[in-house]
Amino acid sequence: MEARLNLYGNRLAAKIVKHVNSAGREITTSTLPAATQELVKIRASQINGCGFCTDMHTKDAAHAGETAQRLHLIAAWREAKVFTDAERAALELTEQGTRVADASGGVTDEAWANAAKHFDEDQLVALVSLIAVINAYNRMNVIVRQPAGDYRPGQFG
């Protein structure tokens, strides 16, 4: 399988991805816990059917020390006892923020209030931004059918 478009070899694509990556770096250096960041990226990627991002972020999370058990249970986080209340709040916000078109009201006040109980304002900004950024990456990769499976942790620096 080959991608429909080479996002890594096209000059315009490189410029655009550079800006998205810049936003991603700001989120990475925020006080939002790194483990939570990876859970959010993985869950949104699963929902969006982005094999490339799911491959990347599960491998990066494992490389950073995330357990196989938690990685295997992300899609079933509601029934799993291995996630903290803060992680659950982030995962709920991720699901609702990723599926905004599926819900007439978008993100519920309950999901927002629950996230706000666990994260300060800067962390909420990082969380909302992360959900938006990973959804942008997912959509780019799904649209061009970016193949999955060959990613190596740290491949993109």
Choose from 2-6, 38-42, 151-155 the range with maximum mean pLDDT. 38-42
Tell me: the pLDDT tens digits for 49-106?
999 999 999 999 999 999 999 999 999 999 999 999 999 999 999 999 999 988 777 8
CA distance 91 to 24: 18
Residue 64 lies in a domain: yes
Considering the domain boundaries, does residue 149 fall inside one? Answer: no
Single-letter code of the amino acid located at 9:
G
What CATH number does the domain containing 97 carry?
1.20.1290.10
Domain count, the chain: 1
Is residue 2 situated within a structural domain?
no
pLDDT over 80 at 34, yes or no = yes
Q: For the CA atoms of the chain, what is the radius of gyration?
A: 15
122-157 pLDDT, tens digit each: 999 999 999 999 999 999 999 999 999 999 998 887
pLDDT at 102: 83
Question: Does some domain include residue 4?
Answer: no
Note whether residue 100 is domain-resident. Answer: yes
Query: For the chain, what is the mean pLDDT?
Result: 95
Identify whether 122 is part of a domain. Answer: yes
The residue-averaged pLDDT of 99-116 equals 90
Q: Is 53 within 8 Å of 138 (Cβ atoms)? A: yes
Alpha carbon separation from 33 to 14, 47, 97, 98 (Å, rounded)? 28, 21, 19, 20
Whether 18 is covered by a domain: the verdict is yes
Q: What is the dihedral of CA 22, 95, 34, 129, to 10 degrees?
A: 30
What pLDDT score was predicted for residue 101? 84
**Residue 152 included in any domain:** no
Distance CA 13, CA 29 (A): 24
**Domain containing residue 62:** 11-144
Alpha helices in 50-107 (DSSP H): 51-63, 68-73, 85-98
